[in-house]
Amino acid sequence: MRVDAPINLHGFARRMSQDLARIRAFVQVFDAGGFSSAARQHGRSKALLSKYVTDLEDYLGVRLMNRTTRKLSLTEAGEAYYREASQLLQQLDELDATISDQTSEPRGMLRISAPRNLGETTLAPAIFAFMVKNPLVSVDLRLEDRYVDLVEEGVDVALRISTLADSSLIARKISDMRHAICGSPDLVQRVGLPASGEALRTMPCILDTNMPSHSSWRFIEDGKPLTVHVSGPARVNSPVAAMQAALAGLGFAVLPTYLADPQIAAGRLVRVLEDRMPEGPSLQAVYPHRRHLAGKVRALIDHLVAWFADNPVT
């Protein structure tokens, strides 16, 4: 009767760990552009990384890298191995992260990008409430009115008032956003109330260049979309500046309602053409396209969806 030898699980696990260390070293060295750069980035010695890559090549019986004093490149076999190895490591890392996210509360640094005015008035309280609920999370909140390349600048999630156009990103709707066309009482007394969107073509308007179509305002007239080209004495790149120009009586302005409503309630602005405004863009959480979404990012997005459901942007 044959008796199979018992499997040495400890030895098998150690062998797998060594194999993965060699594969990871190979990918890290190529990604970093060299052994020295990889050593600095990952806190390992250059000699150890070189040994791992050499051991991997010896095991495979093929050269993966061409090394010179100035340049490191992959052989044809190395290119094929790199493609498969990097995907394998990504899948393993995502699996580890998935299990970790399921068994631990959100933690670590969370880099968030958001428009300045919305961030200061509306988003900051929601984000800080998230931090109170998740004390192991720290936040780097970047409020600026410019397009941010999430991957290039290492941002985990961007909160944007827009529709998603970049297919390399994924978006989740956080809340509807509404806009209003407003003018000061002095302006209305001077030029009159616009009877239609078309009437604004000959009236002074404030152009906010942050808006995708800042000089082409959209309306719904008789159930059909209408685009009106507008012009005026002031062009700004901030909704707060547009509001100030409207308060000064310089023209009508399209303003987010979170800014306009307090001024309307105080009688400093008059809302016009309310029933002709089309559905606007939404507040979206945008993040890079990855198979696995970090638990801290998912937790933040879930929190914001719930927050704005309870505290809608008017």
Residues with Cβ within 8 Å of residue 98, at least 6 apart in sequence? 292
User: What is d(CA 164, CA 173) in angstroms, rounded to the nearest whole number?
Assistant: 10
Asked if residue 2 belongs to a domain, the reply is: no
* CATH number where 73 lies: 1.10.10.10
**pLDDT score of 99:** 65
Reduce the DSSP state of residue 28 to 3 states and report it.
helix
Q: Do residues 180 and 257 lie in contact, with contact meaning Cβ atoms separated by under 8 Å?
A: yes
> pLDDT of the chain along its 314 residues, tens only?
444 545 555 555 567 778 888 999 999 888 888 888 888 888 889 899 999 999 999 999 999 998 876 778 899 999 999 989 888 887 787 677 666 655 567 888 899 999 888 888 889 999 999 999 999 999 999 998 777 888 778 888 999 887 655 556 788 899 988 899 999 999 999 999 999 999 999 999 999 988 777 889 999 988 889 999 999 999 998 889 999 999 999 999 999 998 999 999 999 999 999 999 888 778 999 988 655 577 888 899 999 999 999 988 76
| Final residue belonging to a domain, choices 103, 131, 154 | 103
Strands 137-143 and 108-114, bridge-based pairing:
parallel
**pLDDT score of 270:** 97
**Residues 16 and 130 both lie in one domain:** no
**pLDDT score of 170:** 82
Task: Measure the CA dihedral 202/204/207/212, to 10°.
Answer: -30
**Residues 123 and 89 both lie in one domain:** no
Total residues found in the chain within this entry: 314
**pLDDT score of 71:** 79
**Residues 162 and 198 both lie in one domain:** no
**pLDDT score of 121:** 83
* CATH number where 200 lies: 3.40.190.10
Number of structural domains, the chain?
A: 3
**pLDDT score of 163:** 65
**Residues 294 and 149 both lie in one domain:** yes
**Residues 142 and 66 both lie in one domain:** no
**pLDDT score of 137:** 92
**Residues 78 and 123 both lie in one domain:** no
**Residues 122 and 253 both lie in one domain:** no
* Structural domain range at position 159: 108-177+282-310
**Residues 144 and 223 both lie in one domain:** no
Cα separations (Å) of 151 from 19, 43, 184, 211, 287?
A: 30, 23, 42, 24, 9
